[in-house]
């Protein structure tokens, strides 16, 4: 059994009072809060390690480089990558996907090639590919979703053909909470020799990810959604692909030598890490991993499932409320609409009670189109949330409905 009080005590921000009321933070799909160990790691870096990494010969530079590279090893072990060099530090999931679209796409796609994504992708996994449509003349093919918010897998199978050159798919939807059957998708795509990128931005803090077991070719995630800092993220890529891909950005660290006649690029992962990285963020990300592993994914999954089930049951008592996203396999996201009340009004009134939810299209406008709604209200849960907070959420929603009657 996990001790929620003990976990909460590790998050100083949870003691915040919002206009005199305790903060109820239910906007975890946007970003999670940070435990003291992650905050301390950032402070420790700037207090006693700050120095630029790699290339340095002095004491601090060696220390900072060692810690930064140790963090890469921690991430490699965390997702069970074969090689350290398969872990590339980026700014987040968005940059990771852009890196692949830009580098892999420009190098290997040609006019008429097809890339498969789905209706439930975050804009970060739509627009980078769309840009290649106009630049290279490739075609985006989109897997439709059902009324429950599940991928229609038979449609995916129909879209796959010899024209398909890439599949890029979200593991867990940030707007619907749907957990996609990515193992099945990867296997099917591989039967057509098509590489697959998994957008794990919403999965990495909820589910154990083993890239070898999944056999995904690329995996993208952000530090800030897994109790780590903002500004740091990861792209995992299989060595055989990364080695063939050209650099995404150019500058320091991504080269072996620069001559005006010819520049030789560095080996992976550095080939994709131009410029000074987010050193403190990279080091603190390893601390976030230690926080997650300290609790354990089994405990995390079972507690968060309990929270989601409790929340679903509670809000289902409100007849005016309709849940958007009712997939059988679902993670800690509860999106809903209430007839006659705009989600922004719901969010604003809940904020008066100290309850932080997110309202809007959640960077997934095609999902809103699919359900013919302008926006949803979204409560999303993390390991420090409590059932009492869900009770407060429900009470507050009921109050808003009364106000608008």
Q: Does 34 bind ligand PMP (CB under 6 A)?
A: no
Q: Which of 174, 359, 385, 394 binds ligand PMP (CB under 6 A)?
A: 174
Centre a 10 Å sphere on the Cβ of residue 58 and count the other Cβ atoms it contains: 8
Using CA atoms, how far apart are residues 191 and 193, in angstroms rounded to an integer? 5
Q: Does 331 bind ligand PMP (CB under 6 A)?
A: no
Q: Which residue lies nearer to ligand PMP by CB, 64 or 97?
A: 97
Q: Does 85 bind ligand PMP (CB under 6 A)?
A: no
* Binding segment toward ligand PMP, per CB under 6 A, in 45-53, 199-207, 254-262, 293-301: 199-207
Q: Which of 27, 114, 199, 217 binds ligand PMP (CB under 6 A)?
A: 199
Per-residue contact track with ligand PMP, 113 to 132, x per CB under 6 A?
---------x-xx-------
Q: Does 71 bind ligand PMP (CB under 6 A)?
A: no
3-state secondary structure at position 334? strand
Q: Is the peptide bond before 269 cis (omega within 30 degrees of 0)?
A: yes
* Per annotation, catalytic residue among 42, 63, 140, 363: 363
Q: Return the DSSP state at 317.
A: T
Q: Return the DSSP state at 151.
A: B
What's the half-sphere exposure (Cβ side, CA atoms, 13 Å) at 314?
20
* Binding segment toward ligand PMP, per CB under 6 A, in 194-202, 239-247, 250-258, 273-281: 194-202
Q: Give the long-range contacts of residues 181-184, CB within 8 A, separation 24 or more.
A: 181/151, 181/153, 181/329, 182/214, 182/216, 183/214, 183/215, 184/153
Using CA atoms, how far apart are residues 372 and 366, in angstroms rounded to an integer? 9
Please check whether residue 332 is in contact with residue 382, taking contact to mean a CB–CB distance below 8 angstroms: yes
Which two three-digit tokens encode residue 222? 């952000």
Please check whether residue 34 is in contact with residue 227, taking contact to mean a CB–CB distance below 8 angstroms: yes
Q: Which residue lies nearer to ligand PMP by CB, 49 or 209?
A: 209
Q: Which residue lies nearer to ligand PMP by CB, 93 or 138?
A: 93
Helix-strand-coil split of the chain, %, nearest 5: 45, 20, 40
Number of residues binding to ligand PMP, judged by CB under 6 A: 13
Q: Which of 202, 280, 335, 376 binds ligand PMP (CB under 6 A)?
A: 202
Residue numbers 344-383 binding ligand PMP by CB under 6 A: 363
Q: Which of 94, 118, 168, 394 binds ligand PMP (CB under 6 A)?
A: 94
Q: Which residue lies nearer to ligand PMP by CB, 343 or 353?
A: 343
Angle, alpha carbons 65-200-247 (nearest 5°): 50
Of 123, 128, 122, 116, the C-alpha closest to 153 is: 116
Q: Which residue lies nearer to ligand PMP by CB, 202 or 359?
A: 202
Q: Which residue lies nearer to ligand PMP by CB, 105 or 223?
A: 223
Q: Does 198 bind ligand PMP (CB under 6 A)?
A: no
Q: Which of 27, 32, 33, 92 binds ligand PMP (CB under 6 A)?
A: 92
DSSP string, 164-196: EEEEEEESB-TTT-BB--HHHHHHHHHHTT--E
Active site annotation includes 216: no
How far, in Å, are 29, 105, 232 from residue 102 at the CA level? 26, 5, 19
| Nearest distance from C-beta of residue 334 to ligand PMP, angstroms | 15
Using CA atoms, how far apart are residues 99 and 87, in angstroms rounded to an integer? 13
Please check whether residue 399 is in contact with residue 31, taking contact to mean a CB–CB distance below 8 angstroms: no
Q: Which of 65, 74, 119, 222 binds ligand PMP (CB under 6 A)?
A: 222
3-state secondary structure at position 382? coil
Q: Which of 101, 160, 201, 397 binds ligand PMP (CB under 6 A)?
A: 201
Q: Which of 170, 182, 338, 367 binds ligand PMP (CB under 6 A)?
A: 170
Q: Which residue lies nearer to ligand PMP by CB, 232 or 286?
A: 232
Q: Does 304 bind ligand PMP (CB under 6 A)?
A: no
Q: Does 93 bind ligand PMP (CB under 6 A)?
A: yes
Query: Catalytic residue numbers?
Result: 363
Applying CB under 6 A, the residues found at the interface with ligand PMP are 92-94, 122, 124-125, 170, 174, 199, 201-202, 222, 363
């Amino acid at each position: 059994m996990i001790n929620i009080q003990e976990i909460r005590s590790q998050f100083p921000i949870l003691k915040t009072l919002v206009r005199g009321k305790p903060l109820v933070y239910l906007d975890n799909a946007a970003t999670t809060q940070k435990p003291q160990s992650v905050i301390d790691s950032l402070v420790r870096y700037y207090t006693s390690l700050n120095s630029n990494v790699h290339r340095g010969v002095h004491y601090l530079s060696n220390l900072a480089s060692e810690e930064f590279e140790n963090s890469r090893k921690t991430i490699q072990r965390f997702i069970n990558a074969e090689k350290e060099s398969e872990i590339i530090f980026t700014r987040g999931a968005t940059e990771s996907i852009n890196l692949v679209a830009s580098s892999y796409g420009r190098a290997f796609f040609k006019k008429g090639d097809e890339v498969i994504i789905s209706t439930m992708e975050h804009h970060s996994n739509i627009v980078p590919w769309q840009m290649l449509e106009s630049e290279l003349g490739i075609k985006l093919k989109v897997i439709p979703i059902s009324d429950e918010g599940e991928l229609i897998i038979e449609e995916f199978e129909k879209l796959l053909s010899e024209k398909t050159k890439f599949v890029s798919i979200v593991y867990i939807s940030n707007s619907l909470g749907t957990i996609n059957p990515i193992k099945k998708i990867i296997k099917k795509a591989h039967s057509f020799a098509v590489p697959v990128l998994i957008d794990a931005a919403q999965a990495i803090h909820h589910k154990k990810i083993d890239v070898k077991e999944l056999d995904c070719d690329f995996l993208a995630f952000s530090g800030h959604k897994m109790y780590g800092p903002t500004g740091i993220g990861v792209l995992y890529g299989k060595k055989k692909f990364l080695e063939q891909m050209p650099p995404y950005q150019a500058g320091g660290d991504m080269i072996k030598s620069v001559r005006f006649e010819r520049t030789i690029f560095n080996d992976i992962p550095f080939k994709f890490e131009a410029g000074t990285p987010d050193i403190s963020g990279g080091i603190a990300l390893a601390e976030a991993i230690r926080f997650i592993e300290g609790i354990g994914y089994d405990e995390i999954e079972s507690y968060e499932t309990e929270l989601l089930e409790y929340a679903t049951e509670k809000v289902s008592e409100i007849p005016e409320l309709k849940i958007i996203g009712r997939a059988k396999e679902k993670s800690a996201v509860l999106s809903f609409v209430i007839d006659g009340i705009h989600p922004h009004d719901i969010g604003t009134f809940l904020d008066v009670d100290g309850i932080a939810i997110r309202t809007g299209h959640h960077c997934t406008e095609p999902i809103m189109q699919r359900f013919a709604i302008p926006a949803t209200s979204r409560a999303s849960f993390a390991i420090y949330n409590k059932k009492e907070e869900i009770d407060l959420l429900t009470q507050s929603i009921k109050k808003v409905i009364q106000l608008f009657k």
